[in-house]
Amino acid sequence: MKLILVSAALLFACRVCDAAYVGALRGNVDLKKNGSPVWTRLADGQKTPLGPGDELRTARASTVNVYMDDGSRVKLAPLSAFKIKEENKDSVSLGLFFGRVRSWVKKFSRKFEVRTPSAVCAVRGTDFMVSADADGNSRVEVYEGSVLAGDNSGNTALVREGQFSAIPKGGRMNEPADNPDGPNDMNSSIGNPSQIARAEIYGEISKEDVLARAQEEMQSAEYQTRKVAIDAFGNRVRMEEYTIRPEANQFKYVVLNTRGDRFDFGKILFTFNAALPADLSQATSRMITSPGSAAPEWYLTAMNSVMSNTTDKVTEDALNGTMVSNGSLSSPAYNLVFGDYSFYAAGPSEAADNGGLGKWIWTKTNYNVGTGLADFVAYLGQPTAPVLDASNPSGDAVFHSYTKNTFSEGTWIAARDFVLFDDGKILSAGDFGAGLSPGETVDQVTDRLNFERVYTSSLFGGRTIDVMYSAKLLKEAGLLRF
C-alpha cells in the first residue's frame, strides 16, 4: 500500500512541541510500539506517550484521542488504524491505514501530515476529517479553513470549508462539492464491518498478530480441527484450522501451520449476497455452480485470501461476484462469475503496494469460476505473455503438479500442489480403489487427506510459503464434496 501525503502546512509556534500521547479513550484500543510485534490493550485514564513508528487500532464501538503538546488533537473513529510516521518539534506525520481520523490542528503550529492510500492534501485550515476505506478509496471533509487535495496522478483542487472531495484508489479525484452533512459522528465506523474484515485478511501477517487474532476467534469458531501430519517433504506439521462468521453474510476459513520454528498460515474470507443460513452447507455447496433453471438463494459477492510465511505473502482479491446462467436448455445451471479477480505477490519490499495487497501480477475480468473462462486477462509485463512452465513431476496418475509463470519484466512465481495422506504419502489415482482398507469408505479416506501448496517467487528472496490444510474441515464447512 503506497501511503500518500495529506499535509497541513502551518506556521511554527513559538514553543518547541515534540510530544504526543493517548488521552481519553472508549472501548477496546490497542497500541503496538515501534519495533514490537505485540499489541497491548490500553486502559482508559492512562496517559500513554506515543512516538514515531507507534500504531493504534480501535475495535467496534471504540475511539481514542491523541493529544499534542501544542494543543492540537486527533480522534480515531471505531474500526480504524493509523501509525505515527513522524513526530518531532518541526512536524507530525500520521499514516491512516483504514477508517477515519479527525484532526483539530492549532493555528500557528508545526507542520501536520496525514497519509492515506490514495489522497494527497495540503491543509490550510484547522479542522478536517480524512477517511480511508478497505478498498483504498479516500475522502476529505473540511469543517474550517481549506485543504488543497490531490490524487496519485497529481490532479489537485482546493476543498473549502463546508465542502468534501472523494479520491478513489487509482482514479481521478472528484471535484469538490458542498457537503450536505455536518461533521461526522466520530463514534461510528466508516462503511460496513465487512470491509474491515477484508482489511484484516490482507493487513495482519506477523505471527504475533495472526496468533492473537486466532486465539480470539477460536472462542466462537463454528468448525475447528487440530492434527499433526507429514508434509510432502517429510516434515511434521501441526495444523490448526477453524471457521467463523465475522458478519451475518460472511464466513472466514483460517489454517495455521507450525513446523518447528517455521510458521505459515492461510485465510480466506467469503462474502455473500445475503445473511447465511444456520446450515452453512446450504450456501457453500452451490456457491461455485448451481444446477437448475433458478439462481441459488445465496451466492458469493467477494472472496479475499492470503497465504503467508509472515514475511512474504500471496493474495487474491475477487470482487463483484454474481451467478450467471449457462443458457442451456438441456442442462441448465448457474455459475459464479467475478467481475474482477486479481492476484498479487509480495516480499517485504512490495508488502505495502496496492493497499497492502502486494505487487500486482494479473487480473481476470468477468471470470467464470466454474469454467475457468474470462472475458479479459491483464498481466504483469503485458503485452508480452508470461512464459508458462507446467508439469506433473511425479507422473500423470499422482496428485502432484508444478506451475511457473515468468513475466517479461523479470518477476516469476511458481506453485507446487500436492494431495497427500496424513503420513505424507502423495495420493495416486488408484488409492480410492485398491487402496481402501476393509470396510473403509471413500468418505473416510478423505478424512485422512490434506492439500499442500508451496509458493516460490523471485520476490521472496529464496524463501517459500508452504501451507497445508485438511480435507476434513473443508467437507464439514461444505466447501469440498467427493
pLDDT digits (tens, 9 = 90+) for 376-396: 999 998 889 999 999 999 999
C-alpha cell at 318: 475477487
pLDDT digits (tens, 9 = 90+) for 31-72: 999 988 788 889 888 889 999 999 998 887 789 999 988 788
Predicted pLDDT of residue 478: 64
SS3 389: strand
Q: What is the pLDDT of residue 7?
A: 31
- pLDDT of residue 473 exceeding 60: yes
**pLDDT averaged over the chain?**
85
DSSP character for 373?
Answer: B
Q: How far apart are alpha carbons 256 and 263 in whole angstroms?
A: 7
Query: Strand locations in 328-460, DSSP E?
Result: 333-346, 359-368, 376-379, 387-391, 400-406, 412-421, 449-457
* pLDDT tens column, 252-291: 999 999 999 899 999 999 999 999 998 888 888 888 899 9
Question: At 63, phi and psi to the nearest 5?
Answer: -140, 165
Per-residue pLDDT, 462: 97
% the chain with pLDDT above 70: 89
Closest C-alpha to 204, from 439, 196, 150, 374: 196
Average pLDDT over residues 311-319: 95
Mean pLDDT, residues 84-97 = 84
Please compute Rg for the chain using Cα positions: 25
pLDDT at 13: 29
Indicate the Cα dihedral angle 389, 394, 397, 398, nearest 10°.
-100
Whose grid coordinates read 480441527?
225
pLDDT of residue 109: 67
User: Please, are residues 355 and 117 in contact by the beta-carbon 8 Å criterion?
Assistant: yes
- Residues contacting residue 444 through CB under 8 Å, at least 6 positions apart: none
What is the spatial distance between Cα 451 and Cα 445, in angstroms, rounded to a whole number? 14
Range name among 125-134, 172-181, 293-302, 405-414 with the lowest pLDDT average: 125-134
Alpha carbons 389 and 402: distance in angstroms, whole number: 8
With 0-12 / 13-18 / 19 or more C-beta atoms within 10 angstroms meaning exposed / middle / buried, residue 482 is exposed
User: 366: which residues sit within 8 A by CB, 6+ positions away?
Assistant: 337, 338, 339, 374, 375, 376
Q: Which domains does the chain have, with CATH numbers?
A: 4-178 (2.60.120.1440), 193-476 (no CATH)
**In this predicted structure, which of 226-235, 425-434, 435-444 has the lowest mean pLDDT?**
435-444
* Predicted confidence band of residue 474 (pLDDT cuts 50, 70, 90): confident
Sheet of strand 400-406, all strands in order from the earlier edge strand to the far edge: 387-391, 400-406, 412-421, 449-457, 465-470
CA 1 to chain centre: 11
| pLDDT of residue 467 exceeding 90 | yes
So what's the pLDDT on residue 11?
Answer: 26
Task: Report the pLDDT averaged over residues 1-29.
Answer: 53
pLDDT, position 102: 92
Specify the pLDDT at position 98: 83
Return the SS3 of 48: strand
For the entire predicted model, the pTM comes to 0.68
